[in-house]
């Protein structure tokens, strides 16, 4: 079950799932870091590896959901 052999719409769905996962991971990381909303500075959030870790986790979750959905259809 190689994603490179999937049809183009399924590959796009996998990329979209990963992109949405990254966005949701960043949002979750932003809320989890206890940043005060009265003074939202993105430099505080983007320092360290927190943004990268939450984004990577979100991408993995998003791509996994699409991959499992594709496995269920075959």
How many domains would you assign to the chain?
1
| Successive 10-residue mean pLDDT values, the chain, 74 residues | 86 90 82 58 54 82 89 80
In which domain, by residue range, is 12 found?
7-73
Question: What is the DSSP secondary-structure string of 17-43?
Answer: HHHHHHHHHHHHHHHHTT--TTS--HH
Q: Residue 57: what pLDDT?
A: 87
Residue 2 within any structural domain of the chain: no
Residue 65 within any structural domain of the chain: yes
Residue 1 within any structural domain of the chain: no
Q: Residue 43: what pLDDT?
A: 52
Give the pLDDT confidence of 6-26 residue by residue, as tens digits. Answer: 889 888 988 999 999 888 888
Measure the CA–CA gap between 17 and 63, rounded to whole angstroms.
5
Q: Residue 58: what pLDDT?
A: 87
> CB 55: neighbour CB atoms within 10 A?
19
């Amino acid at each position: 079950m190689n994603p490179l052999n999937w049809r183009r719409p399924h590959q796009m769905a996998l990329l979209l799932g990963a992109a949405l996962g990254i966005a949701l991971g960043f949002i979750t990381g932003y809320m989890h870091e206890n940043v005060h909303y009265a003074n939202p500075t993105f430099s505080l959030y983007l320092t360290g590896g927190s943004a990268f870790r939450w984004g990577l986790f979100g991408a993995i979750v998003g791509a996994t959901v699409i991959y499992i959905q594709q496995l269920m259809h075959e």
